[in-house]
């Protein structure tokens, strides 16, 4: 990638995205996103390595169990993030930079306040689940969730930062942030887990230290550093038109993500019924496969930006072209990752635990998991296009169908015959079938036009 790409003004970046070669533009925008995805997927991988090599099976399993519960709450931030990306992308496509700054300032400020209000719910979840889970993981699960409420507001600001940068065609900023976060996590995990041996408390403190530091850097980047999208706390009085549009667009994505992660929690409870060994094996398999899943699916955010910008100025044909090329790129990347990860899966599992029972289940899970990357990548690119069009209700429908109908019901139906492997086959079935169904709906059934364009002209008045 030429260094000139990083020195472009916002006007030059917008011109390249809207009127440049589509494949070249996708590669320019996707490369930082893919690099970010690789680093992002390394974070749970290294977290799992630290936990499994410094703590007991029960602690590692408890932290893995807590992840989808925390994700249920952070899905609210993800809903706000995709809504902001859709709105800001369409405004940026129109070239209205002052309105982009106004909307971004509103989103960042009120999202942080919302995150502070949501944070106590992790404590509530800790009390509820303490008596509902396997007794071996109950205590570390309670401790981890109770303290994690301190981290939650900073996850909201990180998510909105990603949306602002992606919507304005600056994905390299998200990569830099994620790289810093990864380095910080390595440092704090080393301190709190390897050196101080604080177990589940160390895992939370590592996250808190990392996100506090990275949020200070984001605050400087957005509000202090001189840039065309410099935000301000002045005139932060709520813009009712914008915030109403943001929330309406965010609610379907929030509900979708919450339903998905709640489904993952129920699936984890099914796994925990097979014992702590099976639960820990499933968590390890998820950590290892995270990189393979994150990389092709990260194309989805690039497609959201491209579709929203083109739809913002009624360039339907170019928006469709971006989607089709995005699907092709995702498929190629998925095939490469499968070829790399399949033969390496047993050795990757051994990095976590040298326990024959755990290795056997985890390696078997990965041999099934990895084939679902192709369908998952297409599914995420399709969801990216839905978001770019402002059709977030479709992401709710697709999320519920994928996890609750195609996966959870599959697991319940085949649990007795397949045992714990029903979880892994359910993953393959749900990702593949939903990738096919929703790409067909997008291509054949839905009109490619913005459903939020009428509201955009009223923002900031």
In tens, the pLDDT along 38-59 reads 777 677 667 777 777 877 777 8
Integer CA distances (angstroms), 102 to 81, 112, 301, 389, in order: 16, 16, 22, 21
Q: Is the pLDDT of residue 22 over 70?
A: yes
| Angle at CA of residue 108, ends 103 and 110, nearest 5° | 95
Stretch among 152-166, 231-245, 391-405, 442-456 having the lowest mean pLDDT: 442-456
DSSP of 360-387: HHHHHHHHHHGGGHHHHHHHHHHHHHHH
The whole-number average pLDDT for the span 397-418 is 88
Evaluate whether 391 touches 363 at the Cβ level (below 8 Å): no
pLDDT band at 13 (very low <50, low <70, confident <90, very high): confident
Mean pLDDT of 396-400: 89
Higher pLDDT residue, 210 or 297? 210
Using the predicted structure, report yes or no on whether residue 144 has a pLDDT greater than 60.
Answer: yes
Q: Answer for the pair 199, 145: CB distance below 8 angstroms, yes or no.
A: no
- Please indicate whether residue 157 or residue 62 has the higher confidence score (pLDDT): 157
CB distance 250 to 87 below 8 Å: no
* pLDDT surpassing 70 at residue 312: yes
**Confidence check: pLDDT of 441 > 80:** yes
| Cα-Cα-Cα-Cα dihedral sign, residues 387, 78, 209, 37 | negative
Indicate whether 1 pLDDT > 50: no
Q: What is the pLDDT of residue 325?
A: 92
> What is the residue extent of each domain of the chain?
11-456
Average pLDDT over residues 160-186: 88
Q: How far is CA 44 from the centre of its chain?
A: 12
List b or e across 2-21, with b for residues whose CB sees 16 or more CB atoms inside 10 angstroms.
Answer: eeeeeeeebeebbebbbeee
Q: How far apart are alpha carbons 137 and 76 in whole angstroms? A: 26
221 neighbors 93 (Cβ within 8 angstroms): no
The pLDDT of 201-222, averaged and rounded, is 91
Residue 108: pLDDT band with limits 50, 70, 90: very high
Comparing CA positions, the residue from 348, 344, 368, 370 lying closest to residue 359 is: 348
% of the chain surpassing 90 pLDDT: 22
How large is the average pLDDT for residues 236-254? 88
pLDDT over threshold 80, residue 297? no
pLDDT at 27 over 90: no
3-class SS shares of the chain: helix, strand, coil, % to 5: 85, 0, 15
Residue 164 to residues 91, 198, 219, 230, 341, Cα–Cα distance (Å):
12, 36, 13, 11, 33
258 contact partners, CB below 8 Å, separation of at least 6: 72, 75, 76
**Does the pLDDT of residue 102 top 70, yes or no?**
yes
CA angle 80, 86, 87 (to 5 degrees): 90
* CA–CA gap between residue 445 and residue 441 (Å, rounded): 5
pLDDT band at 170 (very low <50, low <70, confident <90, very high): confident
Give the residue among 360, 129, 384 at the shortest CA–CA distance from 266. 129
Instruction: Round to whole Å and give the CA distance between 268 and 278.
Output: 10
> In degrees, to the nearest 5, what angle opens at C-alpha 248 toward C-alphas 313 and 145?
120
Q: Quick check: 436 pLDDT over 60?
A: yes
Q: Is 461 exposed, middle or buried (0-12, 13-18, 19+ CB in 10 A)?
A: exposed
What average pLDDT is seen over the chain?
84
pTM over 0.85: no
Whether residue 186 contacts residue 46, with contact meaning beta carbons closer than 8 Å, is answered with yes
Pick the residue with more confidence: 323 or 1? 323
Given phi > 0 = left and psi -120 to 50 = alpha, else beta, which region is 197?
Answer: left
């Amino acid at each position: 990638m030429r260094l000139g790409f990083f020195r472009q003004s916002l006007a030059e970046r917008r011109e390249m995205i809207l009127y440049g070669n589509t494949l070249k533009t996708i590669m320019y925008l996707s490369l930082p996103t893919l690099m970010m995805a690789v680093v992002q997927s390394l974070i749970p991988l290294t977290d799992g390595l630290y936990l499994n090599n410094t703590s007991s099976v029960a602690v590692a399993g408890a932290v893995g169990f807590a992840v989808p519960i925390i994700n249920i709450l952070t899905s609210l931030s993800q809903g706000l993030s995709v809504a902001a990306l859709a709105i800001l992308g369409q405004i940026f496509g129109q070239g209205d930079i002052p309105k982009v700054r106004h909307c971004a300032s509103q989103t960042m400020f009120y999202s942080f306040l919302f995150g502070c209000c949501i944070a106590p719910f992790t404590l509530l979840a800790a009390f509820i689940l303490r008596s509902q889970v396997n007794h071996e993981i109950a205590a570390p699960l309670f401790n981890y969730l109770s303290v994690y409420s301190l981290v939650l507001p900073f996850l909201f600001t990180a998510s909105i930062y990603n949306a602002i940068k992606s919507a304005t065609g600056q994905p390299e900023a998200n990569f830099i942030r994620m790289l810093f976060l990864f380095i910080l996590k390595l440092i704090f995990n080393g301190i709190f887990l390897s050196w101080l041996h604080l177990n589940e408390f160390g895992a939370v403190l590592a996250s808190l230290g990392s996100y506090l530091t990275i949020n200070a850097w984001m605050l400087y980047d957005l509000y202090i550093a001189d840039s065309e999208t410099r935000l301000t706390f002045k005139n932060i009085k709520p813009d009712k038109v914008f915030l109403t549009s943001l929330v309406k667009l965010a609610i379907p994505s929030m509900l979708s993500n919450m339903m998905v992660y709640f489904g993952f929690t129920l699936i984890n409870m099914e796994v925990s019924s097979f014992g702590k060994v099976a639960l820990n094996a499933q968590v390890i398999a998820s950590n290892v496969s995270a990189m393979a899943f994150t990389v092709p699916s990260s194309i989805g955010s690039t497609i959201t930006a491209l579709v929203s910008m083109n739809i913002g100025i009624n360039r339907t044909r170019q928006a469709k072209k971006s989607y089709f090329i995005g699907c092709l790129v995702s498929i190629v990347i998925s095939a490469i990752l499968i070829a790399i990860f399949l033969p390496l899966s047993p050795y990757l599992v051994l990095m976590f635990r040298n326990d024959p029972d755990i290795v056997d289940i985890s390696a078997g899970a990965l041999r099934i998991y990895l084939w679902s990357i192709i369908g998952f990548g297409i599914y995420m690119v399709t969801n990216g296009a839905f978001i770019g069009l402002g059709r977030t209700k479709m992401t709710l429908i697709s999320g519920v169908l994928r996890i609750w109908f195609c996966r959870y019901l599959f697991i319940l139906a085949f649990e007795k015959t397949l045992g714990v492997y029903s979880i892994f086959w359910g993953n393959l079935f749900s990702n593949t079938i939903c990738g096919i169904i929703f790409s067909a709906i997008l291509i054949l059934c839905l009109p490619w036009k913005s459903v939020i364009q009428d509201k955009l002209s009223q923002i900031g008045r």
